[in-house]
Amino acid sequence: MLIGTLAAMACALPGNFLLLRRQALIGDAISHTVLPGIVVAFLVTGTIAAVPMMLGAAGAALVAVVLIEAIRRLGRVEPGAAMGVVFTAMFAGGVLLLEQTDTASVHLDVEHALYGNLESLIWLDGFSWSALTDPAALATLPPELGRMAAALVVVAAATWLFWRPLKLATFDEAFARTLGLPVTLISLGIVTMAALAAVAAFDAVGSIIVIAMFICPPACARLMTNRLEHQVTWSLGFATLSAVLGYVLAGYGPLWLGNTASVSAAGMIATVSGALLGLAALFGPHRRG
């Protein structure tokens, strides 16, 4: 649950800027292209260790961004279409690689990549608060937690450090350019942050929740306030709320309905975030542009 929350927050943070810059679907593209990167990393190293996976995923995300730009410039293709060409082709390549090799046997299958696997990341020893101070129990913490926390810290720190230039470049690119700010570098930085968050979260929770968290909480927040500072805060709040609520609903909801098994937590989190967006769209104070 904690991982889900951290993942949601890490994705929502850069999502705010992507949303305002009308690049919301970059998150979608990145989360699809991560797949071939992970498969290639597995083929090269032969392990499912975290570091090569992350490197592979980040590499693939970078390749995708470069390819999109190249197709857009060289072929004078409209950005949405260029994105569509690249991410579907790369995703298809990833699926093909997966099927070609026997990676499917080592918990690296397509369904896992899509749905995520929050349920398996249960901290078995963490049933009481005292476990927090017990080093033996802490050692059994799923490593994804640490990684996710680190990713969140990095994204948050970058956002905080570059707050002013980010804000300027987002709202008034021309003005930012006249001030001598490296606008291209900043937008590249935002995409990199998004890729980092996506890769870390992908590892833990799968690609749907990544896309949902990139877009839904910031979109909700956008309907709640006009100020960027408030929007970021709101989006973090919405992200946390959907993660917690989604997880609880996924775990206990079916029990209340008399069913025994739980449902996909990642899917539920995405669903809750959508429901929140629906509410915001219906009742939010700043619905109209």
Partner 1 sequence: MLIDALTLQLGYNATLVALGAAALGLAAGTVGAFLFLRQRALVSDAISHSTLPGLACAFLLMVAFGGEGRNLAGLMAGSAVSAWLGLWLTAWLTRRTRLSEDAAIGAVLSVFFGLGVVLLTVIQTMSAGRQAGLESFLLGSTAGMLQSDALLIAAGGALTLTATLLLRRPLLMIAFDEGYAAQRGLSVHAFDMALMTLVMAVTVTGLKIVGLILIVALLIIPPVAARFWTDRAERVALLAGVLGGAAGYAGAAISATAPQLPTGPIIVLTAFAFFTLSLIAAPGRGVMASLLRHRRLQHRVHLRQGLLALAHGQPVYEDLTRRMLRARGLLRADGVPTAKGRARAAEEALDEARWQELRRAPQLSELAARDDGLTRIEDILTRDQIAAIDARLGPRGAVA
Q: What is the DSSP letter of 141?
A: S
CB of residue 48 to partner 1, shortest distance in Å:
20
Side-chain half-sphere exposure of 176, counting CA atoms within 13 A? 18
Residue among 54 and 208 whose Cβ is closer to partner 1: 208
| Secondary structure (3-state) at 21 | coil
Cα separation, 37 vs 113, in Å, equals: 12
Cα separation, 93 vs 85, in Å, equals: 12
> Residue 178 corresponds to which tokens in the numbers above?
């006249």
Residue among 181 and 222 whose Cβ is closer to partner 1: 222
DSSP track, 98-110: HHHSGGGGTT--H
Residue among 61 and 181 whose Cβ is closer to partner 1: 61
Residue among 56 and 284 whose Cβ is closer to partner 1: 284
> Residue 65 corresponds to which tokens in the numbers above?
């961004």
Would you call 173 exposed, middle or buried from its count of C-beta atoms within 10 A (0-12, 13-18, 19+)? middle
CB of residue 289 to partner 1, shortest distance in Å:
3
Q: Check the CA dihedral 252-258-263-269 and report its sign.
A: negative
CB of residue 135 to partner 1, shortest distance in Å:
35
CB of residue 15 to partner 1, shortest distance in Å:
9
CB of residue 274 to partner 1, shortest distance in Å:
3
CB of residue 122 to partner 1, shortest distance in Å:
16
Residue among 152 and 266 whose Cβ is closer to partner 1: 266
Residue among 181 and 202 whose Cβ is closer to partner 1: 202
> Residue 134 corresponds to which tokens in the numbers above?
């017990």
Cα separation, 155 vs 62, in Å, equals: 17
Contact residues toward partner 1 (CB under 8 A) are 19, 22-25, 27-28, 32, 71, 74-78, 80-85, 88-89, 91-93, 95-96, 99-100, 110-111, 114-115, 208-209, 211-212, 214-216, 219, 222-223, 250, 254, 259-264, 266-271, 273-275, 277, 281, 284, 286-289
